[in-house]
Amino acid sequence: MSLLQLAFKTISGNSFRSGVVFLCALLVAAFALFTTLLIRGAESSLRLAIDRLGADIVVVPEGSEAKVESALLMGVPANIWMPRDTVQKIAAVNGIEALSPQLYLATLADADCCSVSEMFIIAYDPQTDFTISPWLQGHLGGGLRLGEVVGGSYIFATEGLQNIRLYGYLVTLKANLEPTGTGMDQSLFLTFDTAQDIAYKSTFQAEQLLEIPSDQISAVMIKVKPENDPRVVALQIMQTVPGVTPIESSNLFQSYRKQMTGLLKSILVILGITWALSVALIGLVFSMAANERRKELGVLRALGATRSFIFKSLLAEASLMAFFGGLAGVVLAGLVIFLFRKLIVVSLGIPFLLPSPLALLLQIGAGLLLALFSVNLAALLPALRISRQDPAIAMRE
Amino acid sequence: MNKTMGVLIVGLALVIGIVPLFTDCLSQGRMLTTTAGTNVPMKCHWTAIAEIGLAIPLALIGLINIFSKRKETLGSLNLLGIVLGALAIAFPTVLIGVCAKPDMICNMIMRPALILAGTLTILSSVMVEVKAARMQEIAA
């Protein structure tokens, strides 16, 4: 009988013990993969959101930083305004290559004139925009015309095949952006002209007027010249333009990063406790099994099995249970995180994006390795002890 | 193993039958208003109702798994278990569906919970099916 056959026979012979070890391995692997996927998913989502923003600095009205972060990251509409002449004041600062104003708007909540309730809308100036226009140029071969919009990955047409109703105004959804896992996936992008047209027609088409204060904007996106340091430019803007706050893209979403760090710490503590308890429980189960099987293993030794064979068979048994338990754990964790990702985003308040297949495979491999390591570590001492016992004494007991 | 899988299938049948009732849009007081002005439930509600009809025979299969030792019974019943698991997935995804907005509760909880429970039902039934087939082989 080979090592693996013996291990399989022993596993099927004691379903309770095998079940406990299987469950512990499942728990360790599932929790490890879940944690890694969650944290990595949030990190990559934040990085992608900053890339999508396409600006080195975002200038917002003073005191509205948190609102802007919530809007960009979680799609919570922000109603913030600053004078339009801020653009000219910022343009006077040295080191700026391009700058473009944006308007932040939102649809009405539970109103018949809006197909989607409280949706975040970003209006951009097609003359100066450098954030979404390159994408539009690449994917649509040109900019958006009056009445046309592009949406995040979650946006879909609600009226007919291509239309969405905004303040009673039917806009045409031209395309969807790639998912980022952030609020941008639930946002709509349109030009200043379309926003003004919707606002004008909302007086007689909508339940409530869309108000865009004249000569006001919500934010200014800035691209810094390659030879200049964005930090220095941001400092200059802060010193020369009153009433605004420049946020460097690398500093964006700081509050969410802090929240994620806190979450990571808590999860790591829980993971550590789960791991330690699982290893202790598996160790206990193997010690009990080793005591129960003293006679059986003594007979094996008397029949000619070497110490090394006994030791290896016990570790093979542990490895098999760890492998199958770990496999079930990573499959379960992967399935849960894939199916419930939207619920996780909403309940934890963090963005999330699934990793690439290669990264996912690596993380699954790491989860399986952790399960194998943990179970083998717990089984090592009992396996060593029982393989060293004298067969004559073991059989006599 | 059959008993463990039987208990698991009964648990999954309870999830399939009960969870949709508390996670469809009607349970949150959301309904569609027709042009005639009447309120009608959204389609996720009909999925929830269909899942109750599916959960009852599934629970019975689980119970029979716990108490039966006849390999022929286990073999044929768990084939039905596989079909019911597939239907539990098909109702919210293909056959009836759920509401279109991704942030609605039926999309966030009901649909993924049913897909997960359906997948686990299929896996459990396949495991009992394999075990029953092996029992038949040994008996032969």
- Chain B nearest-CA distance from A87, in A, is 36
Q: Is the pLDDT of residue A23 over 90?
A: no
Of A175-179, A279-283, B13-17, which one has max mean pLDDT?
B13-17
Using an 8 Å CB-CB cutoff, list chain A residues near B111. 339
Q: Contact A394/A52 with Cβ under 8 angstroms?
A: no
CA A313 remoteness from chain centre? 41
Radius of gyration over every alpha carbon of chain B, rounded to an integer in angstroms: 17
What stretches of A241-306 show up as alpha helix (H) in DSSP? Answer: 254-292, 294-302
Instruction: Report how far residue A59's alpha carbon sits from residue A84's, in angstroms, rounded to the nearest whole number.
Output: 12
In this prediction, residue A165 carries a pLDDT of 85
How many other C-beta atoms can be found within 10 angstroms of the C-beta atom of residue B110?
26
Mean pLDDT (chain B, rounded): 88
What mean pLDDT do residues B77-90 have? 93
Residue B140: the pLDDT is 61
Encoded tokens for A209: 């007027």
Mean pLDDT of A361-383: 87
pLDDT digits (tens, 9 = 90+) for A154-165: 888 877 778 888
Q: Is A339 within 8 Å of B1 when comparing Cβ atoms? A: no
Residue B112 Cα, gap to closest chain A Cα (Å):
5
Q: Which residue type occupies A9?
A: K
- Ramachandran angles phi, psi of A212, nearest 5°: -120, 105
Q: Determine the angle formed by the axes of helices A65-74 and A254-292, rounding to 10 degrees.
A: 50
A343/B112 touch (CB, cutoff 8 Å), yes or no: yes
Residue range A129-150, pLDDT digits in tens: 888 888 888 888 888 888 899 9
* B21-31 average pLDDT score: 88
Closest residue, chain B, to A347 (C-alpha) = B108
Residue A283 scores a pLDDT above 90? no
Tell me which chain B residues have a C-beta less than 8 angstroms from the C-beta of A186.
Answer: 103
Q: What does the radius of gyration of chain A's CA atoms come to, in whole angstroms?
A: 30
Return the pLDDT at B51.
94
Question: pLDDT band for position B138 (50/70/90)?
Answer: low
For residue B74, name the pLDDT band (cuts at 50, 70, 90). Answer: confident
Residues A15-42: what's their mean pLDDT?
84
pLDDT of B78 reads 86
**Closest chain A residue to B120, measured at CA:** A332
Question: What are the strands, taking DSSP E only, across A63-168?
Answer: 82-83, 96-106, 120-124, 148-151, 163-166
What is the predicted pLDDT for the residue at A397? Answer: 63
* pLDDT tens track for A302-315: 887 788 888 888 88
Cα distance between residue A225 and residue A121, in whole Å: 28
- Across the interface, do A340 and B107 touch by the CB < 8 Å criterion? no
CA-nearest residue of chain B to A13?
A: B1
Query: Looking at this protein, which amino acid is placed at residue A56?
Result: D
Q: What is the dihedral of CA A154, A157, A161, A166, to 10 degrees?
A: -160
Report the Cα B75 to chain-centroid distance in Å: 19
Q: What is the pLDDT of residue A288?
A: 82
Q: What is the DSSP string of B60-109?
A: HHHHHHHH---HHHHHHHHHHHHHHHHHHHHIIIIIS---S-TTSHIIII
Closest Cα to residue B97, out of B28, B54, B53, B50? B50
pLDDT of B136 reads: 66
Distance, CA of A367 to CA of A365 (rounded, Å) = 5
Chain B residue with CA closest to A340: the answer is B112
Q: Let me know: does A47 contact A385? Beta carbons within 8 Å.
A: no
Please give the Cα distance from B115 to A228 (Å, whole number).
Answer: 52
Is pLDDT at A91 greater than 80 in this prediction?
A: yes
Inform me whether the C-beta atom of residue A13 falls under 8 Å from chain B C-beta atoms: no
Using the beta-carbon criterion (under 8 Å), do B112 and A340 form an inter-chain contact?
yes
pLDDT at residue A353 greater than cutoff 90: no
- Which span out of A205-214, A267-276, A331-340 was modeled with the highest average pLDDT? A331-340
As a whole number, mean pLDDT of residues B27-45 equals 83
Distance from CA of A220 to the nearest CA of B (A): 30
Average pLDDT over residues A115-132: 85
Residue A65: pLDDT over 70? yes
pLDDT tens figures, A177-235 = 888 777 788 888 999 999 999 889 888 888 888 888 888 899 999 988 888 888 899 99
| A233-242: average pLDDT | 90
Which among A154, A186, A335 is the nearest to B116, CB-wise? A335
Decide if pLDDT at A244 tops 70: yes
Contact of A154 with chain B, judged by CB distance below 8 Å, is answered with yes
Q: Which residue of A has its CA nearest to B30?
A: A110
Identify whether the C-beta of residue A130 lies closer than 8 Å to the C-beta of residue A153: no
**What number is the average pLDDT over the span B24-46?**
84
**How far does the CA of residue B14 sit from the closest CA of chain A (Å)?**
18
Interchain contact, A342 vs B116, CB within 8 Å: no
Phi then psi for residue A188, to 5 deg, are -120, 140
Across chain A, mean pLDDT equals 84
pLDDT-derived band of residue B104, with 50, 70 and 90 as boundaries?
confident
Optimal mutation site among A340, A348, A352, A354, interface B, most CBs of chain B within 10 A: A340
Examine the pLDDT at B9 and tell me if it is beyond 90: yes
| Helices A307-339, A254-292: crossing angle, 10 deg rounding | 150
In 3D space, the residue among A250, A255, A265 whose CA is nearest the CA of residue A350 turns out to be A255
User: Residues 316..355 of A with a Cβ closer than 8 Å to B: which?
Assistant: 335-336, 339-340, 342-343, 346
A254-260, long-range: CB within 8 Å, 24+ apart, which pairs? A254/A69, A255/A66, A255/A69, A256/A46, A256/A69, A256/A73, A256/A349, A256/A350, A256/A351, A257/A46, A259/A349, A259/A350, A260/A39, A260/A42, A260/A43, A260/A350
Pairwise CB contact (< 8 Å): A340 & B101:
no
CB contact under 8 A, A343 and B109: yes
Look at residues B64, B63, B124, B132 and name the one whose alpha carbon lies nearest to residue B88. Answer: B124
Q: Which of A10-14, B65-69, B89-93 has the lowest mean pLDDT?
A: A10-14
Q: What's the maximum distance between 2 C-alpha atoms anywhere in chain A?
A: 98
CB contact under 8 A, B103 and A336: no
Shortest CA gap A26–chain B (Å): 15
Contact assignment for B116 to A154 by CB distance below 8 Å: no
Residues of chain A found within 8 Å of residue B112, distances taken between Cβ atoms: 339-340, 343
